Amino acid sequence: MTAPDSDRTLDREALRRRAEQALRAARERTHTLTTCVDEPDLTAQHSPLMSPLVWDLAHIGNQEEQWLLRAVGGHDALRPEIDSIYDAFEHPRAERPSLPLLAPAEARGYVHEVRGRVLDILERIELRGAPLVDAGFAFGMIAQHEQQHDETMLITHQLRRGPAALTAPPPPDTADGAALPEEVLVPGGPFTMGTSAEPWALDNERPAHQRLVPAFHIDTTPVTNGAYERFIADGGYTERRWWTAEGWAYVREHGLAAPLFWRREGGQWLRRRFGVTEPVPPGEPVVHVSWYEADAYARWAGRRLPTEEEWEKAARHDPVSGRSRRYPWGDADPTPDHANLGQRHLRPAPAGSYPRGASPLGVRQLIGDVWEWTSSDFLPYPGFRAFPYREYSEVFFGPAYKVLRGGSFAVDEVACRGTFRNWDLPVRRQIFSGFRTARDAS
């Protein structure tokens, strides 16, 4: 039965309001990240791994202009001469400080002008018809893009030297990790992986398809700092047998002995977190570890990293109904009671937190807190189609990149769901990455 026109109009208006809210939330966060430091910190490159903050700011506006003003709205280009400067594929991060970047005030004016015109387009456009605008996809894509760069800028803030520029309250102390089982059995059988229904899902999450996954055990919570310290104390970084050949070579070449931002002082481990030096909290999920480190820890523990399909089945599959949920807790959007998202706390919550966000089988913190490395290479799903451009996903497919799932405390809910796929090189440690381990049921 077809819904009445009035119902469809209400649905489109709800989508319009959702898109506007997502765009405004992203811009508010961008504003926070680019006004909490002075101009020299905005234009400096704090690490060759990252762009100057002012590059990210103008790049956000340029992508919004290209997709929403030009492609969706049919407008002429506002600043065509800067397209090349803010093309992430044309200029690697290490060389971006040498480009003729917009100054902070000019960049702010540019993104403000673009946004004003975009909101005008959003007010009058029909959110149906062409794939780019159907259900507001392009607006959701740009909101996700901005939030992804906000996370990138937060990483830059973590790499930045100097006094703290950002503050946030600690996560709520609701952890009961000590009373939880160490692992959960996920029964074998088929489940639906990916999505064909989530309106703002990106191309690499599509299409929904069946996977047959044998039974396996998975950690109830992410691996903690305390557990990782035991790996270090047991010679984890000095024992070749725990590492892949590439991982061991990387450890030796760079002299790794602990997660990034850790140091040993006075008999204890300290960490630097957004300009503050503090003792490493043993009950929090470990963060800032590479895929090589996560894989080595899992081998040392007599376990392994979960595959991507195992991770998603643990997060989405409801064994009672047989269906796959949007999130571990169900289909409802995240709330602060479900997960640690959106830069709300600037750190992972203690392992065992967020019982309301648990999966049907009782696995916790699958969404938020830390990105979780999986053992899987970043590959397309059967029936994959690049949309709306190859450079979002397709050019990264292959064995060079490993998949991360679940999101971190730095991820906004618009860019985080049970089907969302992240990927990075196995050497990366500056990202907010942790992991949990698994083992075969047999």
Give the annotated binding-site residues for Fe cation: 59, 145, 149
Radius of gyration, alpha carbons of the chain: 22
Tell me the CA distances in angstroms from 288 to 228, 245, 273, one per residue in order. Answer: 12, 21, 11
In contact, 6 and 123? CB cutoff 8 Å: no
Annotated binding site for gamma-L-glutamyl-L-cysteine: 93-96, 424, 428
User: What's CA 90's distance to the chain center, in Å?
Assistant: 23
Contact 206, 425 (CB under 8 A): no
209 strand-pairing partners? 193
What are the phi and psi torsion angles at 321 (to 5°)?
-85, -20
Distance (Å, whole) CA 419 – CA 316:
8
Q: Known binding site: residues?
A: 59, 93-96, 145, 149, 424, 428
The two structure tokens encoding residue 95 = 């060389």
